[in-house]
Amino acid sequence: MVRVLVSLGIEKVRLTGGEPLLRAGLVEMVAELAQLRTAYSADGRPLEAGEAGRPLDIALTTNGHLLGPLAAPLAAAGLNRVTVSMDAVDPEIFARITRVPRSYERVLAGVRAAQAAGLGPVKVNCVLLRGFNDAQIEPFAEFSRREAVVVRFIEYMPLEEPSTAPDARTWRPETVVPMDEIVARLNAWRPSCGVPPGLVSLPPRAASETAKRFTFRDGVGEIGIVAPVSRPFCGHCSRVRITSDGGLRTCLFSQSDHDLYGEMRRGATDRALAAYIRRVILRKEARHHIGEPGFEKPSRNMVHIGG
C-alpha cells in the first residue's frame, strides 16, 4: 500500500497505533520502508527514467514506554523522526494519567535515547483538557527548553470513545483549551535565567504544516500549537491515513473508510490500486464541522484511526 501511495507522490510516512512499538517486526518494517524512494524531485518534477528519488521521511508516534531500547535500532533501520505522546511532565500527574508506576522516568529515558540516536529534535505531543492537565502548560514550556524537544499542544477534539467509566471525559466546547489562551499564558510566562517573557513566532516548515510554531526570546525551546477546533487548517491538509485493517481514510472525521485492502484481496494491480486511490483522494472532505449544528462524530474513535 505504501509503495503505491509513494508512486503517487506521498513523501512522508508516519507509523502510529495504538502503540506501534508493540508490533513484532517493526524495525524490519522501517528498514523496508526506508528502501522506498519518492516519485518526484524536490521541486515537484516527476523523475525521469533512471533518476533516483529521495528517501522517504519516516516518522513514528509512540507513548514512549518502550522507546529507550528501540530508539537506536529504529534509527539505524532508517527512521528519521519520533513523536512521543505525553499529557504531563509532573511525574505524579503522569503516573496518575498512565496508571503505571514510575512511567514518567521510563518515557523521559526514551525521549533522551531518541535524541541520542539522532531522531531529534523529538516532538512531544500533549492534548490539553481544561481541569485535567491545563496546569501543565508552563511546565511543558520549561521541559521544551531543558530537554531540547519540540512541545506541541493539541486542542482536544471530539474523537473519544463512549465510556461508562467513572473518570471518562466527554468532549464539550468548554473542555477545549484554545490556541489564544495557550499563547496568552506562554506570553505571560517568564523563562528562567532572566529571559524576558514573550513568544516569538516561527515560520512554517511546509505549506501543509499543522502547528503554529513559536520559540522564546532567547531562541531556546520550541512550542507548536495544533488548533483544529479554534483554528482549523483543513484548507491545506494533505494527509491521508491507512487504518490497521487496510481502510483508506481521508479525514479524522470521515464517516466511512475506503477498503483499500479489499481491492488488493480481489486481485487489483498496482495500476488499479493507484486509480482507486486517486478517486478516493479527489473526494477528500473539504473540512470538518466541529461545533456546527448537526455535527456527527467520526465513524471510528481515535484509538482505532491512528493519530
Q: Per residue of the chain (307 residues), what is the pLDDT tens digit? A: 999 999 999 999 999 988 999 999 999 999 999 999 998 887 778 888 778 889 999 999 999 999 999 999 999 999 999 999 999 999 999 998 888 888 999 999 999 999 999 998 999 999 999 988 999 999 999 999 999 999 999 988 765 554 433 344 566 778 889 999 999 999 999 887 778 899 999 998 887 778 899 999 999 999 999 887 777 667 777 889 998 889 998 887 777 889 999 999 999 999 999 999 999 999 887 776 666 666 666 666 666 666 5
CA-wise closest residue to 14 among 287, 271, 242: 242
CB atoms within 10 A of CB 105: 12
Hey, what's the cell of 294?
448537526
**Tell me, what's the pLDDT at 254?**
77
Q: What are the angstrom distances between the C-alpha of 296 and each of 51, 231, 266?
A: 46, 19, 32
Q: How far apart are CA 129 and CA 135, in angstroms?
A: 10
Contact 83, 40 (CB under 8 A): no
**Tell me, what's the pLDDT at 145?**
96
CB atoms within 10 A of CB 58: 23
Radius of gyration of the chain (CA): 20
Q: How far apart are CA 135 and CA 108, in angstroms?
A: 19
Q: How far apart are CA 238 and CA 236, in angstroms?
A: 6
CA-wise closest residue to 176 among 227, 210, 142: 227
Can you say whether the dihedral through the CA atoms of 156, 228, 115, 66 is positive or negative? positive
- Amino acid (one-letter) located at 99: R
- Amino acid (one-letter) located at 223: I
Q: What is the pLDDT of residues 58-67, one digit of tens each?
A: 999 999 999 9
151 by Cβ neighbours in 10 Å (0-12 / 13-18 / 19+) ranks as buried
**Tell me, what's the pLDDT at 293?**
65
Hey, what's the cell of 32?
523496508
Contact 240, 250 (CB under 8 A): yes
- Amino acid (one-letter) located at 45: R
**Tell me, what's the pLDDT at 88?**
95
Helices assigned H by DSSP within the chain: 2-7, 26-34, 67-77, 91-98, 103-116, 137-147, 179-188, 260-265, 270-282, 302-305
Contact 176, 150 (CB under 8 A): no
**Tell me, what's the pLDDT at 143?**
97
H-run or E-run covering 15: strand 12-15
Report residue 56 CA to chain centroid gap: 17
**Tell me, what's the pLDDT at 235?**
73
- Amino acid (one-letter) located at 145: R
Contact 298, 305 (CB under 8 A): yes
If you ran DSSP here, which 8-state letter would residue 173 be given? G
Q: How far apart are CA 28 and CA 4, in angstroms?
A: 19
Q: What is the pLDDT of residues 72-120, one digit of tens each?
A: 999 999 999 999 999 999 999 999 888 888 899 999 999 999 999 999 8
CA-wise closest residue to 81 among 62, 96, 107, 101: 62
**Tell me, what's the pLDDT at 167?**
47
Q: How far apart are CA 167 and CA 175, in angstroms?
A: 14
**Tell me, what's the pLDDT at 175?**
86
